[in-house]
Amino acid sequence: MKDKFLDVKDEVAKAIANKQPVVALESTIISHGMPYPQNVDTALKVEQVVRDNGAVPATIAVIGGRLKAGLTEYEIEYFGKKGPEIKKASRRDLAAICARGEDGACTVTTTMMIAHMAHIKIFATGGIGGVHRGAETTMDISADLEELANTPVMVVCAGCKSILDIGLTLEYLETHGVPVIGMGTEDFPAFYTSKSGYKVDYRVDTPADLAKLYMTSRDMNLKGGILVGNPIPDEFSMDPGIINPAIDKAIAECNALGIKGKETTPFLLAKVKELTGGDSLDSNIQLVFNNAKVAAQTAVELSKLM
């Protein structure tokens, strides 16, 4: 399916037309999340997890100025090889990238936007952006939160990234009316670890519960999305005594170097990976697999209600 700006992969378009389950996936994990060829291997494995759980994957990106809902294996390979050369595309970048015919790696924000354009309702990611530590002076708040307040897509994640101020992130979401749901937990997950010490708004225990909640929200014409905190499995969760000091050290170095804006998160994640000897990246990959599984199962249940 093709329109003025959006290309929907045939497999994805057919599934949407037939009310079959589809799960959106972001592309920054390919271009900016890890080196080639590990990035391509991980992206293809995430797509396979979605298929194994009964849904069609739709990795979302911008290629040559075209919005893409669903990438081919060749396009994923292309993205992986170009890596950080590809510009990260948030809401403010999308029109410029398309007008100039460039490539863009979709963040949570733009993945939600393009998924909604393509009528995809469920999106699996690693962790969302949020309020950065020190935001009371820097005003560094991710556009992901504003998108969640406005775009009706359910986002399954392992919490917001641990480098952020989790408490302020949840306060922001509450202010903007975004429901925060815990999948099998009352404690909002903290990305690398299963518990942050902050409570979710509501707990659910099955993908069918998530599907019903999403459908109810849409039937009521409520504005905005739904955030699902799906904890990293215990066997892949990191020791807080290891990961938290690594995060603190990375943030101190980031501040000392004067790194700001959209360069902050990539720097911090890379530094934490370095400080943990790669363990944080291993955990990151496993939590993405787990989120893709829950998102696919939820999409399957949602298709039964449509």
Instruction: Return the half-sphere exposure (C-beta side, CA atoms, 13 A cut-off) of residue 301.
Output: 17
Question: Of these residues, 26, 47, 75, 77, which one is catalytic?
Answer: 26
Give the mean model confidence (pLDDT) for residues 143-169: 93
| Residues whose CB is less than 8 angstroms from the CB of residue 130 and which lie 6 or more positions away in sequence, other chains included | 141, 142, 144, 145, 160, 161, 164, 165, 166, 168, 169, 172
| Residues whose CB is less than 8 angstroms from the CB of residue 289 and which lie 6 or more positions away in sequence, other chains included | 45, 46, 49
- Lowest pLDDT segment from 87-101, 110-124, 160-174: 160-174
| pLDDT > 90 in the chain, percent | 73
In this prediction, residue 254 has a pLDDT band, given cuts at 50, 70 and 90, of confident
The better pLDDT of the pair 141, 220 is held by: 220
Is residue 302 within 8 Å of 211, Cβ to Cβ? Answer: yes
pLDDT above 90: residue 216: yes
Question: Of these residues, 88, 121, 161, 293, which one is catalytic?
Answer: 161
End-to-end alpha-carbon separation of the chain, Å? 21
pLDDT above 70: residue 117: yes
In this prediction, residue 2 has a pLDDT band, given cuts at 50, 70 and 90, of low
Give the mean model confidence (pLDDT) for residues 189-212: 95
Helix (H) or strand (E) holding 8: strand 6-8
Active site residue 195: no
- Of 140, 114, 144, 139, nearest in space to 129 by CA: 144
Give the per-residue pLDDT at 271. 77
Q: How far is CA 92 from CA 135, 143, 262, in A?
A: 20, 9, 12
Beta-strand pair 56-63/104-106? antiparallel
Give the per-residue pLDDT at 75. 97
Is residue 165 within 8 Å of 132, Cβ to Cβ? Answer: yes
Residue 108 CA to residue 160 CA, distance in Å, equals 11
Residue 69 CA to residue 1 CA, distance in Å, equals 10
Give the per-residue pLDDT at 202. 98
159, burial (CB in 10 Å: exposed 0-12, middle 13-18, buried 19+)? buried
Give the mean model confidence (pLDDT) for residues 100-104: 97
In this prediction, residue 138 has a pLDDT band, given cuts at 50, 70 and 90, of confident
Give the mean model confidence (pLDDT) for residues 56-85: 97
Active site residue 121: no
Give the mean model confidence (pLDDT) for residues 60-74: 98
The better pLDDT of the pair 85, 160 is held by: 85
Give the per-residue pLDDT at 98. 96
Domains, in order of start, for the chain: 6-305 (3.40.1790.10)
285: helix, strand or coil:
helix
The better pLDDT of the pair 191, 13 is held by: 13
What's the mean pLDDT when you consider all of the chain? Answer: 92
**pTM of the entire structure?**
0.93
Residue 281 CA to residue 265 CA, distance in Å, equals 14
Residue 187 CA to residue 203 CA, distance in Å, equals 9
Summarised one tens digit per residue, pLDDT across range 223-248 is: 999 999 999 999 998 887 887 788 78
Give the per-residue pLDDT at 1. 52
- Encoded tokens for 43: 């992206």
Residue 103 CA to residue 187 CA, distance in Å, equals 38
Give the per-residue pLDDT at 71. 98
178: helix, strand or coil:
coil
Give the per-residue pLDDT at 16. 97
